[in-house]
């Protein structure tokens, strides 16, 4: 394992007030988002959209790493420049989603297991040669009156740890994403308890499989009430619950935590990250940043609508969201800033 190279990549990804941009939607997810926005669901529209993202002026000032999808890592601008090269020129490290989605977990009705370990070593070697220096694997844990089961948590965290070990051997920093979904009417306490248990099991598994905690980035959910909960929580309560939960579970050796947005509005995701920095400034053992997909991309996608004449406005919006997330990482985000751009 080339620990030095891995740690250098981690430090670059976590530097300053930058964060990660997840642009790794699978073909099915991308098509779903396009359909909702009234955009044709073809490979050429996927490509054009990703070109819009990677060519956004100033993106490298706000974003340290961009997570691509297998389809995207081979794609190029209409002028023939590979997206990977555009990112590198902008000072953004290319990353790659390497899980192959979820399937039903046998023996556990209604629960999912993430797949993609078969052939992972070979795929990582290929992605490394293409320029990827970090990867992502997402495990999905849902909450209901009967879920999650311990079997589902253990199976998923074991797979995440195996993925992380294979990545580190390949010179690729693993972004480890155990996502407790927001769907459902559960309260904040339930999300806290499930997230806490998931993180405990995850770090047991990472330890058992000899994963170097200093050479990974954790990508968790924030601790929030379910989307259909009748009791929503205020911003400071979410910030406090999230940080408390992570302090209980995430070792200080982990260099950084980059949150997913998980279906929060862009404004709420920024406000929550900001509140964590305001309240816990200089008191946390790890860097706290973002690795958002929807909370950065969604407003830009809606402006674009698949039309060339909207590219500039969509890019401005993407840049604005990324800048506001930088402000949140500094603890300087204010709701009024939404109008200032």
The catalytic residue positions are 177, 219
Q: Does residue 293 belong to the site contacting ligand 13P (CB under 6 A)? A: yes
Tokens standing for residue 50: 């990703």
Q: Does residue 218 belong to the site contacting ligand 13P (CB under 6 A)? A: no
One-letter-per-residue 3-state SS of 153-219: HHHHHHHHHHHHHHHHHCCCEEEEEEEECCCCCCCHHHHHHHHHHHHHHHHHHHHHCCCCHHHCEEC
**Window 249-268: residues binding ligand 13P (CB under 6 A):** 260-262
Q: Please give the biggest Cα pair distance in the chain.
A: 53
* Closest-CA residue to 116 (of 167, 72, 66, 68): 167
Burial tier of 40 (Cβ tally within 10 Å: 0-12, 13-18, 19+): exposed
Judged by CB under 6 A, the residue of 180, 239, 287, 295 near ligand 13P is 295
Nearer to ligand 13P, 168 or 221 (CB): 221
Residue 58: strand, helix, or coil: coil
Cα separations in angstroms, 50 against 34, 56, 94: 12, 10, 13
Q: Which residues contact 89 (CB under 8 A, 6 or more apart)?
A: none
**Window 39-68: residues binding ligand 13P (CB under 6 A):** none
Nearer to ligand 13P, 261 or 326 (CB): 261
Tokens standing for residue 294: 């929807």
Chain centroid offset of residue 242 CA: 16
Q: Does residue 190 belong to the site contacting ligand 13P (CB under 6 A)? A: no
Q: Does residue 271 belong to the site contacting ligand 13P (CB under 6 A)? A: no
Q: Does residue 277 belong to the site contacting ligand 13P (CB under 6 A)? A: no
Cα separations in angstroms, 110 against 102, 141, 142, 178, 245: 12, 11, 9, 17, 26
Q: Does residue 123 belong to the site contacting ligand 13P (CB under 6 A)? A: no
User: Residue with structure tokens 């009156």?
Assistant: 145
* Closest-CA residue to 75 (of 9, 125, 27): 27
Judged by CB under 6 A, the residue of 138, 186, 277, 321 near ligand 13P is 138
Nearer to ligand 13P, 75 or 264 (CB): 264
**Nearest approach, Cβ of 225 to ligand 13P (angstroms)?**
16
**Nearest approach, Cβ of 137 to ligand 13P (angstroms)?**
9
DSSP secondary structure letter of residue 69: -
**Nearest approach, Cβ of 132 to ligand 13P (angstroms)?**
15
**Nearest approach, Cβ of 30 to ligand 13P (angstroms)?**
12
- Binding segment (CB under 6 A) for ligand 13P, from list 194-202, 224-232, 279-287, 292-300: 292-300
Q: Does residue 294 belong to the site contacting ligand 13P (CB under 6 A)? A: yes
Q: Does residue 22 belong to the site contacting ligand 13P (CB under 6 A)? A: yes
Residues across the chain: 341
- Binding segment (CB under 6 A) for ligand 13P, from list 4-12, 76-84, 281-289, 290-298: 290-298
Q: Does residue 292 belong to the site contacting ligand 13P (CB under 6 A)? A: yes
Binding mask 70-109 toward ligand 13P (x if CB under 6 A, else -) reads: ----------------------------------------
The residues binding ligand 13P (CB under 6 A) are 22, 138, 177, 260-262, 292-295
């Amino acid at each position: 394992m080339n620990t030095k190279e891995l740690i250098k990549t981690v430090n670059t990804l976590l530097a300053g007030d930058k964060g990660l941009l997840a642009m790794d939607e699978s073909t099915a997810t991308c098509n779903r988002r396009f359909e909702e926005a009234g955009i044709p669901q073809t490979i050429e529209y996927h490509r054009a959209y990703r070109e819009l993202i990677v060519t956004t002026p100033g993106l490298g000032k706000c974003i340290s790493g961009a997570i691509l999808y297998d389809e995207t890592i081979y794609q190029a601008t209409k002028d023939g420049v590979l997206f990977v090269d555009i990112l590198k020129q902008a000072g953004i490290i290319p990353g790659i989603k390497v899980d192959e989605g979820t399937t039903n977990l046998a023996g556990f009705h209604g629960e999912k297991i993430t797949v993609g370990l078969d052939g992972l070593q070979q795929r990582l070697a290929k992605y490394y040669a293409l320029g990827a220096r970090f990867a992502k694997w997402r495990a999905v844990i849902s909450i209901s009156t009967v879920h999650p089961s311990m079997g589902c948590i253990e199976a998923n965290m074991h797979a995440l740890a195996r993925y992380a070990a294979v990545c580190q051997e390949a010179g690729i920093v693993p972004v480890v994403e155990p996502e407790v979904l927001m769907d459902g009417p559960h309260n904040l306490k339930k999300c806290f308890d499930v997230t806490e248990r998931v993180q405990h099991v995850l770090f047991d598994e990472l330890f058992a499989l000899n994963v170097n905690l200093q050479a990974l980035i954790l990508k968790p959910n924030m601790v929030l009430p379910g989307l259909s909960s009748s009791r929503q929580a205020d911003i400071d309560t979410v910030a406090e619950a999230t940080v408390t939960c992570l302090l209980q579970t995430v070792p200080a050796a982990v260099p950084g935590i980059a949150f997913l947005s998980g279906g929060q509005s862009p404004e709420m995701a920024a406000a929550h990250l900001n509140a964590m920095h305001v309240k816990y400034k200089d008191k946390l053992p790890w860097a706290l940043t973002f690795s958002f997909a929807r909370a950065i991309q969604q407003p830009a996608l809606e402006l674009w609508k698949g039309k060339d004449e909207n590219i500039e406005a969509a890019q401005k919006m993407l840049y604005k969201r990324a800048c506001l997330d930088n402000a949140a990482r500094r603890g300087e985000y204010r709701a009024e800033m939404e109008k200032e751009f």
